[in-house]
Amino acid sequence: MRAPLISTAVLLLASLAAWPADPIPPRIDAHAHAAPPPEAFVQQLEALDMRLVNVTVLDPHARGFDTVEPQTSWAVEASRRSRGRIAWVASFDPAGYEAPDYAARTIEQLRSSFERGAIGVKVYKSVGLDLKSRSGRYTLPDDPGFAPVLEAIAAVDKTLMAHLGEPRSSWLPLDPADPHYSYYKNNPEWHMYQYPERPSHESIIAARDRMLAAHPKLRVIGCHLGSLEYDVDEIAKRLDRYPNFAVDTAARVPNLELQPRDKVRAFLIRYQDRVLWGTDLMELSWEPAQAAIERWKRTWASDWRYFATAERIDLGNGRSIQGLALPAEVLRKIFHDNALRWLPGLKSPNCCGDVHLQ
């Protein structure tokens, strides 16, 4: 039976009201990991007016990510193929930081990466969680051995993307209700609960904070909400204290969804210049290509729905939340403008292959 016209109109208006009045603006996924993509993916980026920051990683436990190469060459090729849609961030190996020539070697390697188009540098969680000194102590992010490298990054106006620490749940027993349960179940080497001898969450965050204070001219993006995903109030304390610090949302939107809506919304509005949208999506094989592309599109759409609309969002297990419906100006900053501000290399002619980002 055909629905009455009035009912159909009401349903249509209600549906439209849940979405922003303006079309979705250009967006920059400021934290992703991608091997050189197929042409179909680049075309999808163009169709959606999307851009990516492709982050290389030095992970001693992940084959293929445990050395600077071939990641750097992959990133350069991905940028070349992208027609200006994919920028990239370099990495450096923290191992051997006590060697007399470590700083000089690392700075030269980063200089080469910048010449090849890198717009920033990633430091990984192995610093604090895994790396040890010659004497056997765990090395924290504020170790003086890294200071010359950090100063060199600041001197050339590049940004440090700092994945230091882990979600607080890494130090707790596995819990199926935790957003990171599957990760720690499948990657026990990063489940700190199994390694009580390693530094605590608090000690790593404190060392990261000392690093921020010691290098006030170094622009730092705290990846994954700065490993303070459990409470936006804790993030706010650092943003108030360190003007050189911002955070990205990569792989931590589920943690925001678990916190009170009004609290998260107020935080994002207050600190609208200090939060970058990122997903942490990863694609290494692109096989089959269309399935991979659809997975990225679903994540992009899901994140936009949470931040931009007032729709009810099903979290599973009988729980749902309402989207944040952030103002258009705030959305534009989080999804686009803040990436250009905190990663200014995005605007360089040397960035992103044939066309630099605007």
**Burial class of residue 26 (count of CB atoms within 10 Å of its CB; 0-12, 13-18, 19+):** middle
Q: Quickly state the pLDDT bin for 349 (edges 50, 70, 90).
A: low
Mean pLDDT, rounded, for 216-240: 98
Distance from CA of residue 64 to its chain's centroid?
20
Q: How far apart are CA 230 and CA 256, in angstroms?
A: 8
Average pLDDT taken over every residue of the chain? 92
**pLDDT at residue 170 tops 70:** yes
- What percent of the chain is predicted at pLDDT more than 90? 85
Task: Find out whether 329 and 273 touch, Cβ atoms under 8 Å.
Answer: no
Terminal CA-to-CA distance of the chain, rounded, Å?
A: 51
In terms of Cα–Cα distance, which of 144, 192, 132, 198 is closest to 168? 192
DSSP assignment of 268-285 equals HHHTTTSEE-----EESS
Q: Which long-range contacts (CB under 8 A, 24 or more apart) does 305-311 make?
A: 306/253, 306/256, 306/257, 307/268, 307/277, 307/331, 307/334, 307/335, 308/19, 308/20, 308/24, 309/18, 309/19, 309/20, 310/17, 310/18, 311/18
Please give the backbone phi and psi of residue 165, each rounded to the nearest 5 degrees, phi first: 85, -175
Q: How far apart are CA 75 and CA 53, in angstroms?
A: 10
- What is the model's pLDDT at position 356? 42
Domains of the chain: 26-347 (3.20.20.140)
Q: How far apart are CA 58 and CA 343, in angstroms?
A: 20
pLDDT tens string 79-97: 999 998 999 999 999 999 9
pLDDT tens string 57-84: 999 988 888 999 999 999 999 999 999 8
pLDDT tens string 252-296: 999 999 999 999 999 999 999 999 999 999 998 898 999 999 999
**pLDDT at residue 142 tops 90:** yes
- What is the model's pLDDT at position 21? 43
- What is the model's pLDDT at position 8? 36
